[in-house]
Amino acid sequence: MNAAVIIRSSIKQRMRELNVSVNDLSRETGYTKQHIYDLLASNRRWNETTLDKVCDVLRLKLVLIDEITNNPVASSGGEAHGIVR
């Protein structure tokens, strides 16, 4: 599974867990509903800014894992904010 598929499916799952709609995500990130729909349908590519905003709202952290040592090598920082359910 490639990174884009993992990111998209993880974000969709988190939206379900927190009961966050596309409308909610749109309002909190400042992106249009269509932009969010396109990201979730793979009609647009995720970029660093979009990922940061969406992860902040959904209280997610992006972590890179070294496949050899299985240790984290990098992660997104900052405090989460946005929708709290």
- Of 60 and 73, which is predicted with more confidence? 60
Q: How confident is the model at residue 64 (pLDDT cuts 50, 70, 90)?
A: confident
Query: What class is the 3-75 domain?
Result: mainly alpha
| Predicted TM-score of the model (pTM) | 0.79
Express each pLDDT in 11-49 by its tens digit.
Answer: 999 999 999 999 999 999 999 999 999 999 999 999 999
pLDDT above 90 for 79: no
Residue 66 tokens, joined: 């070294």
Of residues 37 and 71, more confidence is placed in 37
Q: Is the pLDDT of residue 81 over 60?
A: no
> What is the C-alpha to C-alpha distance for residues 1 and 8, in angstroms, rounded to an integer?
11
- Each domain of the chain, given as residue ranges in start order, spans 3-75
Q: Which helix (H) or strand (E) holds 9?
A: helix 3-18
